């Protein structure tokens, strides 16, 4: 029996294709860490979208996949999510001689459009 290594664990993790990302978690860069010590595996995953209650189910699927790797005696998989803010256009110059902008909507259909 060969000794378990990180690449074997990553290969097992590639078997899960995330429906929101359209690819596996390793290729998407969501796997933040894999540690292997005497057959015990620890995996840390961070999803870039609000996964909420999905994290528990994803962690269970990944744990089963890792535990099926030859040489793995136990697996601990943690899945969390963090949405990063996009950059804003802070260096864009304002339009000359424009002080205020008023947004107007046509408000057609339905009720409740009093101003």
Which residue carries 């010590």 as its tokens? 37
Which stretches does DSSP call E strand in the chain?
A: 17-18, 23-24, 31-37, 40-47, 74-81
Q: Helices 6-13 & 54-67, crossing angle to 10 degrees?
A: 130
Residue 70 pLDDT:
94
Residues 9/69, Cβ–Cβ less than 8 Å: yes
113 pLDDT band (50/70/90 cuts)?
low
Residue 112 pLDDT:
66
Q: Is 41 exposed, middle or buried (0-12, 13-18, 19+ CB in 10 A)?
A: buried
Q: How do residues 3-57 score in pLDDT, each as one tens digit? A: 899 999 999 999 999 999 999 999 999 999 999 999 999 999 999 999 999 999 9
Residue count of the chain: 115
Asked whether residue 115 carries a pLDDT value surpassing 80, the answer given is no
Q: Is 109 exposed, middle or buried (0-12, 13-18, 19+ CB in 10 A)?
A: exposed
What one-character DSSP code corresponds to residue 3?
P
CB atoms within 10 A of CB 63: 18
Residue 93 pLDDT:
77
Residue 95 pLDDT:
80
What one-character DSSP code corresponds to residue 86?
P
Residue 3 pLDDT:
86
Percent of the chain residues topping a pLDDT of 90: 69
Domain boundaries, the chain: 6-81
Could you please state the CATH topology (level 3) that the domain comprising 6-81 is classified under: GMP Synthetase; Chain A, domain 3 (3.30.300)
């Amino acid at each position: 029996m060969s000794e378990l290594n990180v690449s074997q664990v990553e290969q097992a993790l590639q078997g899960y294709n995330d429906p929101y990302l359209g690819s596996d978690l390793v290729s998407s860069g969501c796997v933040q860490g894999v540690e292997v010590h005497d057959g015990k595996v620890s995996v840390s995953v961070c999803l870039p979208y609000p996964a909420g209650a999905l994290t528990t189910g994803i962690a269970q699927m990944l744990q089963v996949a890792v535990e099926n790797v030859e040489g793995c005696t136990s697996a601990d998989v943690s899945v969390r999510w963090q949405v990063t803010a996009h950059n804003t256009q802070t260096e864009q110059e304002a339009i000359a001689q424009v002080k205020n902008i008023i947004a107007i909507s046509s408000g057609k259909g339905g009720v409740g459009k009093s101003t």
